């Protein structure tokens, strides 16, 4: 897995105190992106799942956020790590430039597995024209905070349609 950075005790990347893992690689290339150096996967540093778990475990009271970049660009690794986060009893927020609808309609099997582990999905690209600094936990008005219950309902509705 390739990560740009891990920070501890963030209060701006989800509710409460959070350990934030910034995944390398982002296919969205939004205009006005706050973190364009994260676009290239090669800019990240290789880290094993075990190393990331140890880093997360070093902060027992914090919950966990996957940000980026886009964690869904490394969905297989992010899913494996999400399972470990859940085993630790921690709540998981995941940021993505994809919309929930796109992930359901066109996502890979690994992306859908990761989706099912999110306690909160913050979805959609950053849209400069809809930038709003008053919003909590997101940068533009198109981005939505979608809780696990709504993600589950959308997954079930999508499965029923197939
Ligand atoms: S999804 Fe996020 S990291 Fe990716 S280009 Fe858009 S703002 Fe930047």
Q: What whole-number distance in Å separates Cα of residue 108 and Cα of residue 126?
A: 22
Q: How many CB atoms lie within 10 A of CB 154?
A: 17
- 63 CA distance to ligand 1 middle (Å): 22
pLDDT given for residue 32 in this prediction: 95
pLDDT given for residue 159 in this prediction: 85
Half-sphere exposure of 84 (CA within 13 A, CB side): 17
139 within ligand 1 shell (Cβ under 6 A): no
Mean pLDDT in consecutive groups of 10 residues from the start of the chain, 162 residues: 97 97 98 95 97 97 97 98 98 98 96 97 97 96 98 92 74
Residue 129 exposed, middle or buried by CB count within 10 Å (0-12, 13-18, 19+): exposed
pLDDT given for residue 160 in this prediction: 83
- 116 CA distance to ligand 1 middle (Å): 22
């Amino acid at each position: 897995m390739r990560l740009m950075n891990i920070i501890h005790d963030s209060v701006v990347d989800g509710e409460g105190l959070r350990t934030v893992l910034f995944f390398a690689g982002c296919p969205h290339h939004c205009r006005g992106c706050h973190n364009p150096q994260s676009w290239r996967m090669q800019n990240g540093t290789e880290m094993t799942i075990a190393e990331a778990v140890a880093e997360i475990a070093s902060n027992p009271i914090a919950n966990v956020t996957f940000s980026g970049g886009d964690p869904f660009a490394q969905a297989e690794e992010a899913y494996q790590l999400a399972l470990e986060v859940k085993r630790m009893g921690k709540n998981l927020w995941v940021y993505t430039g994809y919309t929930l609808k796109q992930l359901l309609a066109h996502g890979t099997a690994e992306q859908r597995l990761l989706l099912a582990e999110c306690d909160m999905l913050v979805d959609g690209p950053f849209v400069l024209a809809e930038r709003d600094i008053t919003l909590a936990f997101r940068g533009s008005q198109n981005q939505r905070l979608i809780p696990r219950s709504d993600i589950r309902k959308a997954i079930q509705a999508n499965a029923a349609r197939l």
